[in-house]
Chains A and B, each alone.
Chain A
């Protein structure tokens, strides 16, 4: 089947989508150097800056989370592909300040390579930058080595927590420690039902039989661990939620954040039906869902499926989550 998407020249997708995004929120974000999304009003130099990088095609992530209370900059690559080190080091230089920069990177091979190269260059130039890698995917097993676990939707609430800590005037080490505490208490599992089409090649990024689903699939169709026959919403919810709660070691009286992130073609109806079951299970286990988000935040084109995210929160992390934000896709007033 031929690809049906509202696009123009496939080579210009990233530029065009970023131009459109920044034009839609002109009071909050602006585009510089073609691939770097910045806040319209820069944060004061006395506060720690927050920079991230990642491929395009996952909208509104990652640039949708640039804004007061969250990111200072997102460096965008091409569709599903990391930006090269030159743009990354450019963004780090732009945010150079004595109090430093927290640089958040999702664990994907290309992102890590680019980030490490930029970090090596930053060190040579004497920039004050600390890098934090997210790797909360538990598909390979919650105990698998960090380098084998991918960074999925968990980067978004981590930007929120780190962003609030930075706005509060904390030092780079303090911001890092808070973000890292969140990082070490979060877990995600993804489930896929139908593939996405790569908008440049027109090819489907993986295949799944009509009556099958796959738990553990990555953001770009990377193979997961659990090919199975289709399960109902409740069965899927229970299977995934149980693993996630175990991964973050959440039990009676713990407070958790839950995010159900639609991959692009799964309806809000389905996400609510899944969330209903999560709530019931949490009540049974006396776990408090103190904060929840159900919607599309980090998508994979028109892939059907979702990412289920759980983080165990202490009071400080909860406070950071509830702090104000004006990022276009995570507004807290």
Chain B
């Protein structure tokens, strides 16, 4: 297995993301029904479709245009707050690819850190607020740590997926202080946040696509 991410490997990783989102549709909607309006599974499937559209062939494209095309496409889905949030997340991923089409662990760390800074144009949600950020931030920390320790990409993606999954699980005990679930206050405790769950599913898909091909 190559210890780098290039265009073809990214397509493989994103294909796994699409597959994982589609499998999780009902789970995500059920989670959302507890604290929101119950449509997060449907919303994520629209996003999966927007990703999938750009994954077949056309490998003349570079990695940056692949990720930014996907970002704009997600931005243009009618999927509640998920569209703008995941759209800007993908646009953030694309930003770091301006001069490179081939990423090692350090490059991937930079890429994933950019994704958060672009997301910051849309949300001020902080860790602990019971949002997608609670899965994203631990994953970014894990990637950064792995990069600093010069781990392989495989190990890095495994740590990231585990950290995102743990982060999502921990939202169960949190009271929402951002997003729509904020309005239900204490009643949000006891349910995993659907946005954190979908973010962790994405990291799990990235890992699977990289390892399994």
Contacts and interface: CB of A to CB of B under 8 A. Distances in A.
Given A84-B80, A85-B84, A110-B81, A117 B75 contact: yes
Interface in A110-125: 110, 113-114, 116-117, 120-121, 124
A98 interface: no
A189 B49 CA distance: 43
A84 B72 contact: no
Interface string A74-101: 0000000101111101000000000000
A328 interface: no
The prevalent SS among residues of B at the interface is loop
Contacts of A89: 76
Given A85-B83, A109-B81, A116 B76 contact: no
A222 interface: yes
A221 interface: yes
B79 interface: yes
A86 B180 contact: no
B83 A223 contact: no
B183 A117 contact: no
B205 interface: no
A261 B87 CA distance: 37
Contacts, number: 52
Given A113-B85, A223-B185, A147 B124 contact: yes
Contact of B87 (A83, A117, A147, A223): A117
B122 A86 contact: no
What class of interface size applies to chain A in its complex with B? 20 to 34
A121 B72 contact: yes
A87 B78 contact: yes
Interface string B179-196: 110010100000000000
A202 B151 CA distance: 54
A113 B121 contact: no
A24 B178 CA distance: 40
B166 to A, nearest CB: 26
Contacts of B79: 84
Nearest to A110: B81
A3 B179 CA distance: 28
B88 interface: yes
Interface string A107-142: 001100110110011001000000000000000000
B182 to A, nearest CB: 8
Interface in B154-172: none
Nearest to B180: A109
B42 interface: no
B77 interface: yes
Nearest to A87: B78
A116 B180 contact: no
B56 to A, nearest CB: 23
B70 to A, nearest CB: 14
Interface in A217-246: 220-223
Contacts of B124: 147
A81 B78 contact: no
Interface in A59-78: none
Contacts of A117: 75, 83-84, 87-88, 122
Given A109-B179, A116-B122, A86 B85 contact: no
Nearest to A218: B183
A140 to B, nearest CB: 13
A77 to B, nearest CB: 9
A113 B84 contact: yes
A121 B73 CA distance: 10
A86 B80 contact: no
B25 to A, nearest CB: 19
Interface of B: 37, 72, 75-81, 83-85, 87-88, 121-124, 179-180, 183, 185
14 contacts: A81-B37, A85-B77, A85-B84, A86-B77, A87-B78, A109-B81, A109-B179, A110-B180, A113-B122, A116-B121, A121-B75, A147-B124, A220-B183, A222-B183
Interface of A: 81, 83-87, 89, 109-110, 113-114, 116-117, 120-121, 124, 147, 220-223
Given A85-B75, A113-B84, A121-B72, 8 more contacts: A84-B77, A84-B80, A86-B77, A89-B76, A110-B80, A110-B180, A121-B75, A223-B183
